[in-house]
Amino acid sequence: MTGGASGVPTIYPTILYDDAKAAIRTLTQGLGFTEEAVYEGEDGSVLHAELSLGNGRVMLGSRGREGLFARVMAGAGPAGVYVVVDEVDEHCARAREFGVEILMEPTDQDYGSRDYMARDGEGNVWSFGTYAPGSG
């Protein structure tokens, strides 16, 4: 088995956007992700991008390209992604300051986590919280 014990994630959410460059700006500037790689096509579309937060990564690209993945994802949308963060309130404040739509304010959950929920410009729901699945 890969990942897990080595700290390398084994699951990478992959999302296609109509405006992948705007999504990258929202995720990096508004939600605190780090741009690891961005590959653009000759037409300026995002062929593939990888953004990280903590030890997790999300991959994204532009809709409307060719290939099997693009075809099967053509009608897909929106996705929901959960990301573990330590400072939920500060993270939410950063997102709000950038103009990200906040769907749920930071809230203490019955299961011990503190979470908030946001929506990006293309309708994907991003949840951020202190609960780390499998950590205990």
Quote the CA–CA distance of 20 and 113 in Å, as a whole number. 31
Quote the CA–CA distance of 25 and 129 in Å, as a whole number. 21
Cβ-contact 51, 24 below 8 angstroms? yes
Predicted structure pTM score:
0.85
DSSP character at residue 56: E
Q: Give the number of other CB atoms < 10 A from CB of residue 85.
A: 18
Confidence at residue 2, expressed as pLDDT on a 0 to 100 scale = 45
- Residue 102's SS3 state is strand
Confidence at residue 1, expressed as pLDDT on a 0 to 100 scale = 37
CA count, 13 A, side-chain hemisphere, 21: 7
Q: Give the number of other CB atoms < 10 A from CB of residue 22.
A: 13
* Structural element, H or E, at residue 21: helix 20-25
Confidence at residue 125, expressed as pLDDT on a 0 to 100 scale = 95
Q: Which tokens go with 117?
A: 């929920």
Confidence at residue 123, expressed as pLDDT on a 0 to 100 scale = 94
- Stretches in the chain below the pLDDT threshold 50: 1-3
Quote the CA–CA distance of 39 and 24 in Å, as a whole number. 12
